[in-house]
Structure 1
Amino acid sequence: MEIFFEQLINGFTIGSFYALVALGYSMVYGVMKLINFAHGDLFTFGSYIGYTILVWGSGRMTQIFGIWGGMA
Structure 2
Amino acid sequence: MDIFFQQIINGLVQGSIYALVALGYTMVYGIMGLINFAHGEVVMIGTLVAITVTSSLI
TM-score range, shorter chain: 0.7 to 0.9
User: Could you tell me how far apart the structure 2 residues matched to 1:54 and 1:5 are?
Assistant: 22
User: Could you tell me how far apart the structure 1 residues matched to 2:57 and 2:12 are?
Assistant: 27
User: After TM superposition, where is structure 1 displaced by more than 2 Å over at least 4 residues in a row?
Assistant: none
TM-score in terms of structure 2 length: 0.87
- The CA deviation string for residues 22-67 of structure 1, in whole angstroms up to 9 with x for no partner, is 0000000000000001112101111101211321357xxxxxxxxx
Q: CA RMSD for the aligned pairs? A: 1.4
How many corresponding residue pairs? 58
In structure 2, runs of 5+ residues without a counterpart are none
Q: In percent, how many aligned pairs have the same letter?
A: 55
> Which of 1 and 2 has higher RCO (CA within 8 Å, sep 6+)?
1
In structure 1, runs of 5+ residues without a counterpart are 59-72
TM-score in terms of structure 1 length: 0.72
Whether 1:4 and 2:22 are equivalent positions in the alignment is no
